Structure 1
């Protein structure tokens, strides 16, 4: 018996090492985390599964809306829609190729232009957005249709834009229109980010530090508006 005891113990050790605990279920699925600002994101997961998970995410959002409709709390809706966009929907789109004529509705499938990225993600989170017609309009039209009118500001230089944004609270979501580009600005932990379908560099959907985004630094005009300060839009989210 002493002869076989070490072998039995070693086999037991291997079995224990290979045992894994089941993953906890999530109410809303999220994509695998990507390193922020990575120039060459690596997608090791299956694209078809990625699309299925995204479809499930959109379906789950629709179900969750029923709960928030009963609560009728616009401040809570504001926090929820910000988190859904910034932490769930946007990451699914990272790495999707940019093309001037891109109209894709599915992340990582086909290509998407900057305006279509904005309208598609807003539609998918549950806002009543005209995805095609608004995407084809100048960014000024898009901003005026979606954002709180009292928050819409025009700046002629990046320095003044950043000065304005630094006064805004964290977890703020803006649409920023540039000379020939449009995307989202978010403020997180006092840092400013620009999430957009970029025509420069890697030419894909990505999240840049605002001050590092080439479309931002090369622009001479900046039109910005706050999306989630628009109470009318939040009420439409609840009722749609």
Structure 2
């Protein structure tokens, strides 16, 4: 609930300080990738999550997609990014607050449309609920659609460690090597709340979300469910298979958040 209250206050500030602009056309994404306008206007399929009972509302995680078609939702996210840029230029908002909003846009405005989209090794759909999506393309496509200026094919085709290095933008990546149980304990005890890129050895990638004392994975699961899911790291079969993890902070990477805000390459 504290995230919801915080975001309500910040979005009230957005509305008060900046006059409403026309909703941008979905072509605003086309300069970064070959994403088609038609693909951004499709509705998503109903979501599925991991089978274990979790009070998602208590951890401020939205599972169901919004009521807007996906393309309109992406347009609204882009509009929010532009407003934040205006506020930041006037020194009306801090970069830390912008990073919190970025995380919510990704976790609760973009990703919920993708839950339940089938996984395949060659999958590279850019439309949630239509076609299939591999783990690397899930990460690169959702980052692209939240507004990060990247080439989704080039990013998705990198190895997990190189993808972590690309997203870290020169900052050292975090490498944890231990049993999955001990790695989860380290993340829970030592990491700040926020979203991170996560690479599993040489085989798999996704997001790691630390929130309210819990550690979650958001990924296109190739093993037990063969679709995009969110699950507790402690419940994840895939997570338990590995002992080396490459992690790149996203929420706390101020260079990345500023590049998202300004659209610098």
- Please classify the TM superposition score into its range, dividing by the shorter chain length: 0.7 to 0.9
Aligned position for 1:173: 195
Q: Which residue of the other structure, out of 190, 206, 211, is the alignment partner of 2:213?
A: 190
Taking a change above 3 Å as real, the CA distance of residues 112 and 224 of structure 1, as seen in their structure-2 partners, is same
Report the secondary structure of 2:76's partner residue: helix
Unaligned runs of 5+ in 1: 1-26, 40-48
* TM-score, normalised via structure 2 length: 0.70
Q: Which TM-score applies when normalising by structure 1? A: 0.77
Runs of 4+ in 1 over 4 A off after TM superposition: 30-36, 49-52, 148-151
Is 1:59 equivalent to 2:75 in the alignment?
Answer: yes
C-alpha spacing 1:34/1:174, structure 2 compared with 1 (3 Å): same
Structure 2: gaps (5+ residues): 1-19, 24-42, 53-64, 89-93
Q: Distance in 1 between matches of 2:260 and 2:144?
A: 10
Counterpart in the other structure of 2:183: 161
Distance 1:83 1:203 in 2: 25
In the alignment, the residues of structure 1 paired with residue 104 and residue 240 of structure 2 have an alpha-carbon distance, to the nearest angstrom, of 27
Q: 1:235 to 1:117 in 2, by over 3 A?
A: same
Alignment of 1:200-215 (within 5 A): 200-215=223-238
DSSP-derived class of the 2:158 partner = coil
Equivalent residue number for residue 234 of structure 1: 257
Aligned residues: CA RMSD: 2.7
Check 1:109–1:99 CA distance in 2 against 1; reply closer, same or farther (3 A cut).
same
CA distance in 2, matches of 1:33, 1:165: 31
Q: Is the 8 A contact 2:77 2:146 kept in 1?
A: yes
Corresponding pairs, count: 203
Report SS of the residue matched to 1:129. coil
